[in-house]
Structure 1
Amino acid sequence: MGKNAEAVLRDLVQPWNVAIHSTAGLAGSVSAVSDADDEERRGKNQELLRRKPGLHAVPVGDRGQSIELTPWKLLHTLGRANVLARQGAGRGLAEHWASLKYCQALNGNHGSFMALSDEGRNPIRHYKAVQSGELGIGFALAVAQEVLGRRYPDHSVSVIDAEIALRAGWTLTGKDHATHRASKRPHFFLEVWKPGAPSKVVLVACKGTHGKPAQVHAQLSTAAVHVEAVHIGRPDETPAMVFGTEIPGTDPITLHVLEATGNGTLRLPTGAAEDDLDSPPEDRAVVPGIDLAWGAGEKPRVVSGYHVRPEDHGWFRRILAHADAAGLTAFTGGGEPTARYLSKRQGKRHFEQYTHAGTGIVQDIAYSVHGVDFVGTDHVFRLNGTRVEAFSGIAKDLFKDLAAGRVGEYRQGAHTLRGEWSDEQWDAKWNGPVSLNQDGSVLAIRVLR
């Protein structure tokens, strides 16, 4: 018999360390896998894969030897990342709540390090490939945000689904322009921003496995292909991070990470202000392809991928900000507010068709967490036979700006408040785990009485 629900909820806020492996040796092992793949392809007269060059270790000062993380914070990170996933099929909110299936999958082992629990190792409960892929996203984004937060302490960091953002400019599937489309693309864009300043974009590819380190090396080699598919500004100057999460049966979970440094800056147009972010997003018909000779005055050398050139920086920055806003409003359960931040190709009509009372004048549900009023939506399910309530939302004052289309004002407010959210992950008044993000979102759970 499993633990009672209250014991499970207490476990969700237990902090554990997640080991981080990022060394020159790891970079060498991944490079060796890539070289072997190139050699095999040459022998078969196949085209070589383009991979992000210059992958190297992340300095210890930027990431530490480990990161302390609670399972509940991990699930909040995963839920925020997945809330727009598969939105074309109208499944975004379902993907968001799907993160809750891992409520009992993680625990501590070997002292203070996080590992799979007995529940997490149960093949009946968790299909391994899905588990490693989804948990890999949560771990990767938690570490990526930690690294960028250390590097840019006066900036905010937003996680944006790369597929959603790219759809606004490029046709990613079908027959048109198929020659220069890239089938492997980054999974996420991390936008490092602060009001009134240019944004910096970091490409992220996340992988996960229950296998041995050799499999992680192969996954990181493939991840290098994903992050090579998008270039911002001058070719080969876009920063990227690739992650491989090793989730063994009983040993501690280890996150393997490499990065490529670069510029990745989206320049503000002359005289632009944050209010420029409020204009509705529009689809553009950008032809796929990256000219590796662009800006060098040489003969064009076009390869597959997606190139954000300087003349498109202002538009792409707005697309990222609106996709970020769409993820936040979808996290509250709202269809109508989410639709306003997406273009037709990004799936606007699917969210127009999905609505509930919380998207109108009266919000669906409002709760106070750590003394702050939040609005959002809830989900009730059984945890070991006990009914529990999960709540996801955003601070009421920030939601007002998003509901009214004021992206610039939301960002001003969120950036100002980012250091004021409580780190305490148990709210006695709520009587359960709570996780507050710097973006103003909350994920909370409690036994339903």
Structure 2
Amino acid sequence: MSDDTDDEALYPNRGRATRPTGVSRRRLLSGSAAAGAAVTAGCMGSTTDDSGGDGDAEGTIFVFNTDEKTVSVIDAATHEVVATPHLGATASFPSNQYAPGLTDEPTDPLWLNVDRGVRAIEVGSLSSVAAVETGSGANWQELTPDGAHLVVSAREPAHTQYRIDADRESRSFGEVTAEIDRADEGGIGDRDGPGPCDVTIHPDGAYAYVPDIFGDTLSVIDVEAFELAEQVAVSPTDGADAARPWMGTAAPDGETLLVEHDEGATGTESVWDVSDPAAPVERARLTADDGLGRRPLTSEIGPDSAFGYVFTPGSNDVTVLDLDAGTVADRLDVGGSAFVGTWGPSRERLYAPVQTADEVAVIDHADREVVETIPVGSRPYGATAATARPDGDAAANVRGTMASLGIDLDDGGTTYCIGNCACGHRL
């Protein structure tokens, strides 16, 4: 971790214990029933359930419980948690922009940010099948729409972009195929690089967008050539000393890009025109005065590209944006701090893990409202989806129950996140 800042937003857990130790009585009581269910658990890969729902019709939601390193496996048709196996790792920002439509076989991988790099776990077995160390503890990754590449942003001290072969059938699967060392760009003040933070990919697959939190720039990467195609200076709003863009999401129709900013006292949101994918143009900047929630961190965009959902954990809500108008349309109370979310494979519902409530808020896109909450594990953070499901593993489920009771099973597999959870902060 850099010693030149005590920024609470970037390093909220500095000096804090990552999680309580010992066995929690509350968890012991709530986990007793789960222990019996875990011992008798059958195959998670079943496509039907007793309610008659088709488990593959909407697929599977994966929610990573950072406090216990388990993953809640949710049937997206019934909204039931069908298993909570111990993963031995956790993820705050898994690849989820195109993963729900690409991950349809048990041998397909989910890509996670774990420890000081990224890791691929096979859906069927939940075993690690690839891992790349990046030289940073703060990593974000996204698959290209065709699933051929994984583009990675490794923030300080690496300040590096990586392209990894994500084709499971390729002989070079999991290997770095290109990289861009960006440290020589420098950063604001005495920063030693631009701080590439997050990555989102245009639906045509040709360009990736990277907000640079220490560079006050939005970088456009040519995915095939793997070089900077364009870099746009991002100006701060009146009264702010820096724009600090740090997260972003490209719309499915390829016309709009949302960028979150750790700017000022409450954060801001910008709306960009990317109809020319290589030349983004900012067309709106929203602040608290416009109705934006506090501390915007990440966003997702609806299937019709008309509305954006900005996770604003500082005000315990999700801010809904009208993208055409560039205005705040609504604020959805999710009952706690939700930092990220994922669409199900059908892209009809948005799933937002509420870290402070140990549940997932389900947002229906048609009505743009929270329609249900799903109890999950402790301190859920990252989420992604697939149309495949893990095979049943009674041992993993038992270990998951043990972890939910507060029993520490290992010390590895941490993740970087903006919030108080079992995260790794050695950047």
TM-score tier (shorter): 0.3 to 0.5
Report the structure, 1 or 2, having the larger helix content: 1
TM-score of the superposed pair, with normalisation by structure 2: 0.34
Higher relative contact order (CA 8 A, sep 6+): 2
Larger radius of gyration: 1
Query: What is the TM-score with the length of structure 1 in the denominator?
Result: 0.33
